[in-house]
Amino acid sequence: MPDPVYNFLLAFYRSVYGTHLDHYRDAQGSRVFVNNRYNKMKTITIMGQLYRSKEARSRRGVHAQVLYEAEDRGEPIAWLCEIQYFFRHELKIDAQLKEHVFAFVRWHSIYSSNESLFVDEYLKTWRSHFLAEDMHCIVPIHRLYSQVAVVKYGDQTHANGRTVVIPLPKKMLA
């Protein structure tokens, strides 16, 4: 696992399980450490829906919305991302081996204007550039909400280049 991704994963685990988790380089005196081994995957199927990463042969399904609970709102918000790859990681906590499956994503920056450019309320506008990578780029796959289609809008060479997000139908299992 590359060091920057490992550091993001360690920060993620510490926020979930507590600060008692150690870096793998400090594993000699520690009972609980986060190892740096992972299994990368190019695609994943969640409830019948195939999600692809940027490393997959086809780029269809690379863009998705991730649901997060916003503290200042009473409902979850969907944030646009581009999936770089999926990975499986094992962590031993309290003598139990836990397997986690994550997506490593790049987050689109939100377009600051609240003016709607479109008549359809479901079309959202985002900036074409991405936010800086941090521990929030590690996303448990259960947070993936739906795939979206993206269309570049306006001058992409300018800092205000935009991306229009078109929600795609979500498969529902009976």
At residue 10, does pLDDT exceed 70?
A: yes
pLDDT confidence of residue 103: 95
Output 163 or 135, whichever has higher pLDDT: 135
pLDDT digit string, tens, across residues 21-52: 777 777 665 567 777 889 999 999 888 888 99
Q: What is the pTM of this model?
A: 0.82
DSSP summary character for residue 169: P
β 22-23/33-34 pair status:
parallel
The residue among 104, 111, 126 whose CA lies nearest residue 55 is 104
